[in-house]
Structures are given as C-alpha cells and as structure tokens.
Amino acid sequence: MAFDKDNIIDQLKDASISDLNDLVKSIEDEFGVSASAPVAAAGAAGGDAAAKDSYDVELTESGDQKVKAIKAIRDITGLGLKDAKGLVDKVPSIIKEGASEDEANKIKEQLEAVGGTVTLK
C-alpha cells in the first residue's frame, strides 16, 4: 500500500474536531509519542524569531565612582552636568531608549567599567 499524503490531507480537512482528537490520541498510543512536545518546541523557536531590535538602557546602580558614572553618562547622552548627575542620583534611571543591540551593549560596557550596574530592557 502506497502512502498517499494528499489523500490523508483531504481526509483531515473534512474531519471533525473530535475525529482529529481521536486520531491524535491513537497516534500517541501507537507510536509512544506526545503531541504536546512539538508544540512546546515550536513555541520556543517562535520566541527566538521575535528577538528584540531595540533596547532601553537602565542604570540600576551607580556604584562607588559616581563622578566617573556622571562623566560616562555625559559622554553617552550629551546631557549637561546637572541632568547627568540627576540620572546617577535617582537610580534606577533610563539612560537611553530605543538603542540598537550593539549600541546598548556598548553603553552597558561603558557604565560597568566605572562601577555601574546596567539592565537592558
């Protein structure tokens, strides 16, 4: 008996939900598999496909070297001294919104180099 994929697909299109449910159970019993495992794998793969393309860089802790953190924020953002100091003093603070992954990682490295703790959102 030849395997006729098109015939099987046509039969599945005409089947009721309860018939399809019975078919799934029968296949699980016959072959010792579970239909839930491929669904979970497909969900995990879908999560990778929807990777973020922009990040918010948040300073969560300024660290012990606040002056260096203020200077780093001024270099990164172009803010004045008072505004940069305000971000450092009022942590957690968003340093940059909508940054690309490369830019966000570069900012994170700069702030961590001066003792800050950074979270990418």
Percent of the chain with pLDDT over 90: 29
> Model-level pTM?
0.55
Helices in the chain by DSSP H: which ranges? 5-14, 17-31, 36-49, 66-77, 81-89, 101-113
CA distance 83 to 67: 13
Walk across the sheet containing 55-61 and list its strands. 93-99, 55-61, 117-120
Query: 48-67: per-residue pLDDT in tens?
Result: 445 677 889 999 998 888 99
Distance of alpha carbon 106 from alpha carbon 39, whole angstroms: 37
Residues 87-98, mean pLDDT to the nearest whole number:
90
111 to 52, 79, 106: CA distances (angstroms): 22, 15, 9
Average pLDDT, the chain: 83
pLDDT at position 75 is 92
